Amino acid sequence: MSQAKELPIVVIVDDEPEICTSINRCLMRVNAQVHSFTSPRQALNFIKEHEIALIISDQRMPDIDGHDLLKQVRNLAPQSTRIMLSAYQDFDDVSKSFNEGIIDKFISKPWKNVDLVFAVENAINAEHSIESKVTSSKPVAGDIIGESTVMHTLKQQIKMAAGANVPIFVHGETGTGKELVANACHKASSRVKHPFIAVNCANFSEQLIDAQLFGAVKGAYTGAVKDSQGIFAQADGGTVFLDEITTLPLGIQAKLLRVLQEREYTPLGSTVCVSFDTQIVSASSVKLSDAVNAGEFREDLFYRLNVIPLSIAPLRERGEDIAILANYFLSKFSKEQGKQFTDFASSTTSFMKQYHWPGNVRQLENTIHGACIMHDGTEMTREMIENILQQHVGFNQNESTSSTFIENDDENVVPLADVERKAIESAIDKCNGNISQAAALLKVNPSTIYRKMQKW
């Protein structure tokens, strides 16, 4: 066999010959044989005769569209990596193709060459290092623990969203792992070697968040004693994670919209425009659409940021993940604390599966951490967990019909919002009204409490 034949085969399909040519040019430095087709039918005929490693297809084509083409390729060459090129407005269709296992990744048009090369090289390297490639085992979103169907779907969506180079919005209750997901999107993209910088929008006044994001020149506001670089500049080439985006003051919402539209910003007090290249991931525990309806968030900014929406289910809705996460945290903290814990008593596991976890994974993590510090033994009992919950959120061991449990009897079910409110109010009471201390007890940001109080 000649050297050329051993190179992995990459197929490009786009009805526009210029697009084929520019992808070809972009992949010139990739170690692969690249074949391009303007006709999906010709591409299929080629694929029937050759073992391909990867296919990049346009989404909208006359005759056979990208979805149908890649579906056929999945059947003909299930081991191949399938990338769809798409204008992001078609995200719903792309998402469907993805969930059906038809595509592995999508890249928006116009694409960045670095993203395309990164995706192709990754796929080819994976292909070469693992004889039989299993798509779901690619090392993406690896830090996210969870085997439930919803978490599998989320991990797939992260793989797809990373590198698409359009804004991603992550929604989930407090402590569900929004920052973790944002970071996974960063790590799975070609921006991985550049910084990932997170900023909690709720922690600042309008002026400070402006300076924090876009920088400020000396004297722009009281306290600006020297020029400062904003997060957009610091994260250049990487990712900016804007947490609790709905708390952004309206003035900054307007500025952010302009910045995203024009791809440049002006530091506070300056007249010089600065262009930037960063991926934007934003997140909120409030649905963006709800914030828009409540008049707290600009609708035009909503459309800009919500291009790829990712949603994380609350922990209580993914029972099988509770045991997996709990075991992971037990082994981690037991080791860290020099303890002997190796397992949970079976009653502990069923207790943890029944509990509502209003603070989600963060609360589970902190509870097990606390139990590892405060208790000893080889098996972690239900009492140890209850004891920590009692200290943190005033959980009452004697209340058999405790509102913190998921009840089977519909009439006794207490809305989660009430459970959460009770936990927060009880923590605030314990701290004599000190929100920062209450937040520390609940292991959430003070901004989370302020936001919820505002809502009540």
Ligand X SMILES: Nc1ncnc2c1ncn2[C@@H]1O[C@H](COP(=O)(O)OP(=O)(O)OP(=O)(O)O)[C@@H](O)[C@H]1O
Backbone angles phi, psi at 81, to 5 degrees: -90, 135
Distance CA 240, CA 182 (A): 9
Nearer to ligand X, 167 or 267 (CB): 167
Nearer to ligand X, 20 or 442 (CB): 442
Closest CB 113 distance from ligand X, rounded Å: 31
Nearer to ligand X, 73 or 283 (CB): 283
Nearer to ligand X, 86 or 174 (CB): 174
Q: Which is nearest to 9 in space by CA: 29, 35, 27?
A: 35
Nearer to ligand X, 145 or 274 (CB): 145
Closest CB 177 distance from ligand X, rounded Å: 3
Binding site for ligand X (CB under 6 A): 144-146, 172, 174-180, 243, 285, 325, 361-362, 365, 444-445, 448
Angle between helix 319-336 and helix 360-374 axes, rounded to 10 deg: 40
Nearer to ligand X, 202 or 216 (CB): 202
Nearer to ligand X, 8 or 172 (CB): 172
Nearer to ligand X, 145 or 414 (CB): 145
Closest CB 180 distance from ligand X, rounded Å: 4
Closest CB 286 distance from ligand X, rounded Å: 10
Q: What's at 380, amino acid-wise?
A: M
Closest CB 116 distance from ligand X, rounded Å: 29
DSSP lists the bridge partners of residue 344 as 380
Q: Is 105 left (phi over 0), alpha (psi -120 to 50) or beta?
A: beta
Backbone angles phi, psi at 243, to 5 degrees: -85, 150
Closest CB 181 distance from ligand X, rounded Å: 7
Distance CA 395, CA 388 (A): 9
Nearer to ligand X, 276 or 328 (CB): 328
Would strands 33-37 and 9-13 be described as parallel, antiparallel, or unpaired? parallel
Number of Cβ within 10 Å of residue 249's Cβ equals 15
Closest CB 368 distance from ligand X, rounded Å: 11
Task: For residue 430, give every residue at least 6 positions away whose Cβ sits within 8 Å of its Cβ, in sequence order, or none.
Answer: 394, 438, 441
Nearer to ligand X, 102 or 325 (CB): 325
Number of residue whose CB is nearest ligand X: 177
Distance CA 422, CA 402 (A): 12
Q: Tokens representing 453? A: 């109080």
Closest CB 120 distance from ligand X, rounded Å: 29
Closest CB 449 distance from ligand X, rounded Å: 10
Closest CB 361 distance from ligand X, rounded Å: 3
